[in-house]
Each structure stands twice: as structure tokens, then as C-alpha cells.
Chains A and B, each alone.
Chain A
């Protein structure tokens, strides 16, 4: 982190020009391009399993961005949960719903042109707003790290205890719900083992943030 921090302090001292890139920013930009590109492929590729894999790249890229933003705890959580379990779940889902391997010609619905229009319009509007609003805002990346595990943990268990507990209840509810939903009807309960379809779901709930 020190080269980045050193670069950051130099940048902080020097007067800022609009979008005058420091090293961090260049790194951020490059990783951002990769991330965005991978996201684009995810939503456009015809091969369903490849989409999941490109999603891994996207999520991984985001983890790097978190690191660049000095939010290291978040970055590791991202990798653990998103890349580790969510993507696995998605792959299991693809497998269990017998998604076609290889190209499937009907991966995109007939709605895609309207979707494209809406997405482009939304992107344009939001980019314009954001750029216009934060023209003169810089993040100060130097100083004491605010994203370390110690700091995050202290803040979480001092200020965010109630939402934390509520979140655990939510996770319990999601666990129960997933089990209930994926049970087969009672007629088939005798033939198939109960609860097995819920195993992948329950495993993900165990990977809660603790």
C-alpha cells in the first residue's frame, strides 16, 4: 500500500487538476476498464456458463478496486462471499436447471432493444449527473487506514449492532425460506431424500458475515 500511499500524499500536496491522474487513479482506471469489460461480456455472451465465469472476473476486479480504495476488509469479504459462494451457487443453479453448454441462440429476449435504450439513457443521465456534481471532489487516500479489519470490526460492533442482529435474523429467514421453497411435494418426499436440494442453499447461508 505504501507506494500508493506515497503517490497519494504527493498528489494531495500538489494542486489538483481536473482528472489529472495519480498512480492510484491510473491503476483504478485500468482495473476499472477490465471490470467493465468483463461485465459487458457477462451480459452479452451467449454461453451461459461463460457468463458466470466472466462474472467472477468482474467481481474480482471490484475486489481490487476496493483494495485501491483502502477498504481491505470489504475486499476480502467480496472475494469470500461473492466470488466464493455466490458464483458457485449460480453455477449450481445453471447446472440444476439444465442450462445448455455452449452457445444458446436464445440467451437474449426480444426485449433487448428496449433494454439497451433504457440502459444507455440511464447511464448517460447518471454519468452526467455524477460528473457534474463531483467535479471538484477528491478522496484523500492517505492517513490512517479506515478500512482495516480492526477499525471495521470496532465500528460495526459499537455503532451497528442492532442492524447486525437484524441481519442475522434475515439470514435465518432466508435459510428457512430456501429450504421450504426447494422441498419437493409431499408425494415425492418418500422417494427422494428431503432437504438435499436445500443443501447448496444452506451452505451459502452459513457463509454469513461473522
Chain B
């Protein structure tokens, strides 16, 4: 089979699996698990084959016209270059791991068939985005991912947090998607085609008329999808969804779609240096802000969510300095270790019966209950903190190295200011990253206090997957030598200065946190805190849903707990209160958008009820009055009726006579 055929099958197989799952889920429940895992496995294998065949050489390009539109044509096009091939492999691998993990995680969930089908549909959409060579087809995949995210985040819709979070995720990403659509149309009109190759050709020939405007419009969509400031507020709340969903969608794939999009169309953004500076500033604010916020969160998944936002900021920063190879390198390695972090967190939540770090820090020997999760999570956290020789070190260093390269003026395809911003904030964020990673590890695994409850052995499906993902988290970084061939980019080897600075700052961050923890851990024993959902027999999904639902009643907040034993409190000082609520951005949006919209809605309701309804009711009032008047004639008295009848008859007779006699 040709590479094109294989490439078409890659998004097609999970889509068929999703359709079959949705149709047959109720009638043939025995087939649901195979239908979830097998198409994804096949898609992964085929993606690997396609990548092997493409081999970083010439891009696989093929297209058929989808429909004549009268102006700019829409084509079903494939464009598989090195980026696409490798990202597709990542998507396939993570999706496969998540599907296998879910069979254990949602073992007893009654909605598992639709869940699995939606995950397959999502996988198919992401693969479509990755392989697509036409912007409108990419947009289709983009939007399908959005709606699947909505459904999957709202999986535990019995809890109000999940309901609110799914709508928030949908609305905030849609807020970015509208300018995105306009930008796509502008781009297509300027290039008179939606094919990516043609658009890049137009840009190279200077054919873009409003590069800054288009770039900013597209950036809005990317900011929404990839959770960059200021449209990042949905991602921490989206943790109300099941953990495998968070691993797939909100760590490895969907949020990476925005980064991938910019990487694909980087010349479009580079055509406007103003847009690149905006991108750099966005990346910087995101990195720093999310690092602080992650230090203040109590829910283990929210820490990871803010961590994702920050790491995506790294990728955005790499793109801001025009180095997409580094960005995609970090995307790949981040996808592996972040997915692993989330999946391991799911195991921990199941074992501990809570998602609160405050509660876990008061449990002894949690690590003995979940040894697989303990070891793999340690590996992943080391990768996150960019400690050599784990994957995160190499990928983060490639970003910082690219930033330094631009900052020191060695290139003219990106402004130097962008380079400095990314470099300095990136180094600071490395400190913060190591800091919150250490905090997470210490609070979860080094707790003191009562014995951790025994919730039975974790399902084998869940544990096996952790080890599968641990391999790339450990070793992927060593691919830095071969990747430039795939990415057509400059050398991705870590440079000395940034490596030393970065690793040093990471170690500093880790040690400071350890010190703070030693200081505060004594308090943990004296101040009991926490609620545990004890369901020894329930599957992990149910435990997690209960944990999410009970966090606010137990602690008074969804995100953080007033825990004096939290080292983050000590480290952040007066900033802690603000960091915990994401620097009040939610409150700002509430005042700016939510309240005016609600006020407008109640105004409209008032107008409809008092003004329009009044007219309607008034129109009805007149006939009603007339009817009442007529009804009064129904006296029931026969003589009245006959009198009226005869009076009318007499009148008619007289009239007839007068007419007949010609009077």
C-alpha cells in the first residue's frame, strides 16, 4: 500500500471505531473494549509505518478537490512532513496508552462505551489535524476536538464542577476560535487557496497583505486551544474530567495542536515581527504565571494542569524565536512525560482515595501501595524538571538554546527582544518547574501520619501503561541527534551555557523546596486535614469523581486548601493567596464578560416578559372582553332567546318589505 493510503487510514480507523462504538455500545457491550483499543492500535502501527517511510525526507503531499466553492477551493489534502509524521506517532502512542489505561480506570463505569467512542473520535480528529494539508480540513479536525473535549470533560456530569468546567472549556476555546476562523479566511483569500503549501508559497513571495492582523487573529485561536495567557483559564478547571482524558487531551495532544499549527505555518507568523514579539510576551507571561500558580494548588491534577500551561509556554517561546524544531521536540517529549504524569496521578488518586495533596501529605507509605506509579512518576517529574539525562532536559535545553541564539543576535529571522524575553523568563521558569515538581513528589510520597488506606491492587492495565510511557520519558531526549533531519532545522544539541544555567536553577529550585518542606512538615502531624473517599471496591473513575466532588465541601475551595504544612505557602509568601486562584483572572473575566452577559440576558427576559408579552396579552384581552360580553347574552332564559330571534326576524321582514316596495 502506498504511503498515502496508509496515511488516509490513520485518522480513518479510529473514526470508524468511534462510529461503531457509538452505534453498538448498548447492544453489544462485549465488543466495546476491543473496538476502543484495536483501531487505535492499528492507527499507531500505521503511523509508525508512515513515519518510517517518510523518514524525514520529502513530504508526502496529495490532494483531491473536495467541493467546488466558487471562490477559494477546499481540498482534501495530505501534507506529511517530518513534523507531521512524528507528532502522529506521539498521538497514536498516547491515545493507545490512554485507551488501555481507561479499560482499567473506568472498569465499572456505565458510560464507558460512549467515553471510549469519544476518545477514538478525538484521536481521529487530532490525527486529521496533524496530517491535513488543507486549512479547512484542519479546522474540521480542530473543532471536532473541541466538541469531544466538551463531552469528555463533562463525563462526570453528576458533579457540578464537571458541568461548569466542560462549558467553560468549550466557551473559552470558542472565543479564540472565532478570530481563528476569520484569520483562516483572510489567509485563504490572500493566497487564493487553503492548501498549506500554496499559502507558504504566497508568504514566501510576499503576497500577504495584512500579515500582522492575520497572525494576531490566528494567535487568538492558538491561545484558546493551547491554553496560553489570556485564554488559559479553562485548562485547570478541565481537570474535573477523568484522568485519562486529561492525559490525552489536555497534556499530550489537543493543547499541542495550537503549537503544531504555528509550527506548520511559522512563515506566516514570521512575516510580522510584531506578532512574534506578542508571541514571546504571551509565552513569558504564561510560563511565569503558571509556575507560581502550580506552586499553590492543592489538587494534584491542577498542579499538573498549570504545569502543562507552562510547558506549552516553553513551546510557544521557542516558536516566538522562530525555532520550530525545538518547539516540536519539546512537544514530543512533553507529550510523553506529561501523559505519564497524569496517568500516574490517576493511579495515586485511586489508591489514596483523594486528589488533595494536603490529605496525601498526611498519609504514610502511599508509595508502598503504588510502587509502579511511584517509580514512573519520579522518572516523569525528573523529566519535567529537566534534569539530565531525562527527555525533558534535552528538549527544554533546545528551546533555551534557540532563545539564546536569537538573543545574541545570531539570526535575522526573529527579533532579538523576543529572544531575551524567552531566555530569561524560561530560565526563571525552570526554577519554578523544579520547585513545584519537588513539592508534588514530597507531598504525595513522603507524607507522615496515618497509614494510607488499602484500596486493593491497581488494575494491571493501568500499571503496564505507565511503564510503557516511562521509556520515552527516560530515553527520548537522546534522539536530539537525529531529529534535526526530520525537522529541517538547526542543531538541537544542548549548548553549554544554557544547560548549566538551566540545570543549576532547577537544582536550586528543588533544594529550596526541600528545605521549605522540611520546615513545614512538622506542622502536618499537628494539624489534621483532609477528606478521603473510601471505596475499596470501586473503579478509579468513581473514586476520582467523588474526590472532585468532595474537594470543595472539605476545603471550602476547589483549587487549594488552607494547609499550613504546605511548603508552597512558605515559598510564595504573600503571593500564595493570589497564585492559588490563578491571579484572579477568572474573577476579571467574570466581571468583564459573564456579568454583563447575564445582565443583558435578564434585561432581555424582562423586556420579553413585560413589553412583548404585554402586547401579546393585550391583543388577547380584547377578544376575551368581547367573548365575555357575548357570554353574558347566554342567560339560559329561553324567552330572551326567542325575543331576540323574533325581533331580528321582524327587522329583517320590514327591511325586505321596504326594499321590495322600492322605498
Per-residue CB contact flags for chain A residues 142-172 toward chain B (1 = under 8 Å, else 0) read: 0000000000000000000000000000000
In the bound complex, CA of A114 to CA of B646 (Å): 10
Task: Evaluate contact between B650 and A111: CB separation under 8 angstroms.
Answer: no
- Indicate the member of B637, B639, B643, B646 with the most A CB atoms within 10 Å: B643
Q: Is the interface of A mostly helix, strand, loop or mixed?
A: helix
Task: Evaluate contact between B647 and A118: CB separation under 8 angstroms.
Answer: yes
Task: Evaluate contact between B640 and A111: CB separation under 8 angstroms.
Answer: yes
**A contact residues around B653 at 8 Å (CB):** 125
Cβ distance B646 to chain A, nearest Cβ, rounded Å: 5
In the bound complex, CA of A118 to CA of B643 (Å): 7
In the complex, B500 has a CB within 8 A of chain A = no
In the complex, B204 has a CB within 8 A of chain A = no
In the bound complex, CA of A117 to CA of B646 (Å): 11
In the complex, B72 has a CB within 8 A of chain A = no
Known contacts A118-B650, A122-B650, A125-B650; A111 and B657 CB within 8 A of each other: no
Task: Evaluate contact between B657 and A122: CB separation under 8 angstroms.
Answer: no
Task: Evaluate contact between B654 and A125: CB separation under 8 angstroms.
Answer: yes
Per-residue CB contact flags for chain B residues 620-656 toward chain A (1 = under 8 Å, else 0) read: 0000000000000000010110010011001001100
In the bound complex, CA of A121 to CA of B651 (Å): 9
Task: Evaluate contact between B646 and A118: CB separation under 8 angstroms.
Answer: yes
In the bound complex, CA of A115 to CA of B650 (Å): 12
Task: Evaluate contact between B646 and A111: CB separation under 8 angstroms.
Answer: no
Task: Evaluate contact between B654 and A111: CB separation under 8 angstroms.
Answer: no
**A contact residues around B643 at 8 Å (CB):** 111, 114-115, 118
In the complex, A109 has a CB within 8 A of chain B = yes
Question: Which residues of B, 307-345, contact A by the 8 Å Cβ criterion?
Answer: none
In the bound complex, CA of A129 to CA of B653 (Å): 10
Cβ distance A122 to chain B, nearest Cβ, rounded Å: 5
In the bound complex, CA of A203 to CA of B654 (Å): 43
Task: Evaluate contact between A121 and B647: CB separation under 8 angstroms.
Answer: yes
In the bound complex, CA of A118 to CA of B642 (Å): 10
Q: Is the interface of B mostly helix, strand, loop or mixed?
A: helix
**B contact residues around A115 at 8 Å (CB):** 639, 643
Per-residue CB contact flags for chain A residues 100-126 toward chain B (1 = under 8 Å, else 0) read: 000000000101001101100110010
In the bound complex, CA of A118 to CA of B641 (Å): 12
Cβ distance B663 to chain A, nearest Cβ, rounded Å: 12
**A contact residues around B654 at 8 Å (CB):** 121, 125
In the bound complex, CA of A125 to CA of B650 (Å): 8
In the bound complex, CA of A143 to CA of B162 (Å): 113
**A contact residues around B650 at 8 Å (CB):** 118, 121-122, 125
In the bound complex, CA of A114 to CA of B633 (Å): 14
* Pick from A109, A114, A118, A125: contact of B657, CB under 8 Å: A125
- Indicate the member of A115, A118, A122, A125 with the most B CB atoms within 10 Å: A118
In the bound complex, CA of A69 to CA of B646 (Å): 31
In the bound complex, CA of A134 to CA of B639 (Å): 33
**A contact residues around B639 at 8 Å (CB):** 109, 111, 115
In the bound complex, CA of A122 to CA of B637 (Å): 21
Cβ distance A54 to chain B, nearest Cβ, rounded Å: 21
Which residue in chain B gives the minimum CB-CB distance to A132?
A: B661
Per-residue CB contact flags for chain B residues 37-76 toward chain A (1 = under 8 Å, else 0) read: 0000000000000000000000000000000000000000
**A contact residues around B657 at 8 Å (CB):** 125, 129
Cβ distance A134 to chain B, nearest Cβ, rounded Å: 15
Cβ distance A173 to chain B, nearest Cβ, rounded Å: 24
The 7 closest A-B pairs by CB, nearest first: A111-B639, A114-B643, A118-B647, A122-B650, A121-B650, A118-B646, A125-B654
23 residue pairs of the A-B complex, CB under 8 angstroms, read A109-B639, A111-B637, A111-B639, A111-B643, A114-B640, A114-B643, A114-B647, A115-B639, A115-B643, A117-B647, A118-B643, A118-B646, A118-B647, A118-B650, A121-B647, A121-B650, A121-B654, A122-B646, A122-B650, A125-B650, A125-B653, A125-B657, A129-B657
Residues of B at the A interface (CB closer than 8 Å) are 637, 639-640, 643, 646-647, 650, 653-654, 657
